[in-house]
Structure 1
Amino acid sequence: MIYAALFAVLPFASFAAELIKKPSAHDVETTANRLEAAISKAGATLFARVDHAAGAASIDAELRPTVMLMFGNPKIGTPAMQDNQTSGLDLPLRVVIFQDESGSTHLAYRQPADFAAAHGLDAGAEYIARMTGALDKLTNAATSQ
């Protein structure tokens, strides 16, 4: 019984290690706009921009500013899906930008090498390295002064 409980918790324990979190010098809206501009400049496609706070407001609930951008480049993502189509659960890439309790803005995303393991992909594959580099470059552009 103890082992069952331990194994049930292990996937959640590893989940925290999968997130990259960066502080932003800007508010949520500005950070999201800067990320969107960086995505466009890099030649990637923005597939969705989701305003979670607006969704909460639609049911008369409060949520601090929270925006998710879903984006990608089929030249990079398609090889991952060719290796295992379940990677479509994590592709296109997603970044969430949010305001914390103290009013500071952050963004967070999953490290591609971590979600690669969940789909049996080679963490050393070129497309994983390209996704990792793109996420780092784009999010740095969005959060920097």
Structure 2
Amino acid sequence: MLVSRCRCGFQECEAQLRRLIEEAGMRIMAIIDHGKNAEEAGMKLGNVKVILFGNPRAGTLLMQVKKDVAIDLPMRIAIWDDDGETFIAYRLPSEIAAEHGIDHEVIKRMDEGVMEIIRKALASTQ
């Protein structure tokens, strides 16, 4: 897992990531709002969200090799605010594929796509 600090606020970082994911031709499958869920449970957590995203074709190619990779798909980027600083965490598709013993030509392209999203998000917030 890789963690990077963003120089912008939580909402701006989230909006930027969402835009970049969609511009990359990927689909946002869900957004889990852990902060909201904590509030509903009567607890405090602050801003913590996970964006689940991907390309169904690429993910399916991996699952055709080994269906157990489904536990780690779609891909995820976590965003959180900690004492006024915003962070993102993500795992590269190659890391996930290696854990499942998958070797497929699509993995390199998936890595490049995720890294491009992260690179642009961090560049736009610095």
User: Which stretch shows the higher mean deviation, 63-72 or 111-120?
Assistant: 111-120
- Give the letter aligned to residue 96 of structure 2: F
TM-score by length of 2: 0.90
Alignment of 1:108-119 (within 5 A): 108-119=89-100
TM-score by length of 1: 0.79
Matched, 1:67 2:49: yes
- Percent identity reads 31
Unmatched tracts of structure 2, length 5 or more: none
* Number of equivalenced pairs: 124
1:82 matched to which residue of 2? 64
Matched, 1:136 2:115: yes
Unmatched tracts of structure 1, length 5 or more: 1-18
**Bigger Cα Rg:** 1
Q: Distance in 1 between matches of 2:35 and 2:74?
A: 22
Superposed CA deviations along residues 49-71 of structure 1, whole A, max 9, x for unmatched, are: 11110110111111121111001
Offset of 1:21 from its aligned partner? 1.0
SS in 2 for 1:23: strand
Offset of 1:142 from its aligned partner? 2.3
2:16 matched to which residue of 1? 34
Offset of 1:72 from its aligned partner? 0.5
RMSD: 1.3
Q: Distance in 1 between matches of 2:120 and 2:33?
A: 21
SS in 2 for 1:136: helix
- Give the letter aligned to residue 29 of structure 1: Q
SS in 2 for 1:62: coil
Offset of 1:38 from its aligned partner? 0.7
Q: Distance in 1 between matches of 2:101 and 2:71?
A: 13
| Superposition misfits of 4+ residues, deviation over 4 angstroms | none
SS in 1 for 2:45: coil
Q: Distance in 1 between matches of 2:9 and 2:33?
A: 14
Q: Distance in 1 between matches of 2:80 and 2:105?
A: 30
1:11 matched to which residue of 2? none
